[in-house]
Every structure is written in C-alpha cells, then in structure tokens.
Amino acid sequence: MDSLLETVSSNRASGGTQGVYRHASAATGTPMVFSVFVPDHAPGTKLPLVWYLSGLTCTHVNVTDKGEFRRACAELGLIFIAPDTSPRGEGVPDDAAGAYDFGLGAGFYVDATEAPFAANYRMETYVTQELPALIVANFPVDTARQGITGHSMGGHGALTLALRHPGQYRSVSAFSPIAAPGQVPWGEKALGGYLGGDRELWRHHDATALIEDGARVADILVDQGDADQFLAEQLRPELLAAACAAAGIPLTLRMQPGYDHSYYFISTFMADHLAWHAARLS
C-alpha cells in the first residue's frame, strides 16, 4: 500500500478482500474514506473495476454493508469501489438549515464554483481523477476496463460522469437515478447552490440535458422501483427515456413492481447490474 493510504479495516469475504481506506484528498482538502472489494486472483492479474456512487445522506458504508455485491464480484472477477458522497470534517460548509439534500452527504458529484462550497466540494475531480490515480497505484486494476453505477444522487453521478468523460467508462448503469436534476427540486437546489443561477451551466451536469445536447454512451441500464416514493417528483426516468430514444441510445429501463428506494431494492438487482458491466468489460 502507498504510504499515503491508511487501511481502516480489511476483512476476508466471499472469496476476496473487503477493505476500507482513508487518505488526505488534495481535491477536497479533507480526509476521504472509501471501500474496495478485490476478488481473489492470480498474481500479476489486472482486474476490471466497477465504481459505485452512493445517494443522498450515504457514505461508503451503506453499499458496503447492504449492497450484497461481493459474491457476484468474486464470481465475475470485478473490483468494486465505493467512494464517499461529499467532503467531510470540521470547517466543511454545510446547508445552513442542516437539510439532508445539500451539503454534507450531498455533493452531487460536481465541482462547485460558488462560495463557500468551491473550496471543498470538488467531487467530480475527486471521483474521476484523484481517486482513480490512487486506486491504480495501490490495487490490481485494468484502467481500460472501468464501469460506473450508482443509486439516486449516485445514479445521477454515474450517468453524468459517463457522459462527460467519454472513454473513461466502458459501461454505465443506475438504480433510481435523479435523471433530470435541472427539472426537479433536489437537483435545482443542489445545482443552484454549487454552480450558481445560470441554468445553462446546469445542463453540463444533467444526464437528460447532456444527451439532448449531444453527449453519448454505448448503452444504459436503469432499474427503477414503481413504488419509489421519490419517483414522480424527483427522479423522472421518463425524461431520460425520451432523450435516449431521440438520440438513439439503447436504454434498458426496467420498472420493478413493488420496489421502493431502499437498499432492499438495490441489493435485489445488484447482481444483474454487475453482470451487465462484466459483459461489457470482458
């Protein structure tokens, strides 16, 4: 391990090693914690990896404890990486009213430009540049074979980062993504707070708008519960579907009967998503 990377914990699990690590981030100016599952593999082997971006209020812990990904990753030979959702620590600015949908735990995977958030909330740079470099230096990854997925706010992050960084991710999927943040309350609050009032700038961090404006990926898998309490007001997958149809992007949108927004839903379909990524990363 790099001397700059602190091992918080390491446990044998499901035919691999589940680790949690801490490091000092230059991008956010704070300590950052993330988890990595590495399947057993032959010495010298480089493995494909899947990034998982978590949703509002979450840390790496939620999916690490409840995502039920390890067995499938071991069988498919996938490394699984879960970063945090925002910078944290004393002095990191938060929502003035302490709301859950902005500030700590709600970085929205953008690089903020507005004070006081611009100094720390640089989550796009962290997830797409700084953390990948640290992973390459410390884990047996094949950087040419990366996929990205996520849930809710993290689904928004997975879609937008894949669209904004063509060539970095070979596959993309999402669970219950905020599909058009520029048109829903969660996104309007976050994008306005981090990026300012110019809605044209928001389009660069909105999956539906990015596709409408010409960004492309090969294909997308989305699972969405039809009993999700946030479906109609905050998620709006029909807007993503319309944009993909107009752009000719193959979208597999699966409306799952009776499922809500929880990790019961995510864990149920996690193996399907990992198989989707493995097929495209093989």
Q: Which of 44, 40, 66 is nearest to 55 (CA)?
A: 66
> What does the alpha-carbon distance between residue 120 and residue 112 come to, in Å, rounded to a whole number?
8
Q: Which of 60, 261, 273, 277 is catalytic?
A: 261
* 152 counts as catalytic: yes
CA distances from 149 to 58, 73, 280 (A): 15, 14, 13
Beta 251-256 vs 220-225: how paired, if at all? parallel
What is the distance between the alpha carbons of residues 260 and 176, in angstroms, rounded to a whole number?
9
Q: Is 228 a catalytic residue?
A: yes
Considering 25, 156, 228, 273, which one is annotated as catalytic?
A: 228
N- to C-terminal Cα separation, the chain: 27
Catalytic one of 35, 54, 86, 152: 152
3-class DSSP state for residue 172? strand
By annotation, the residues acting in catalysis are: 152, 228, 261
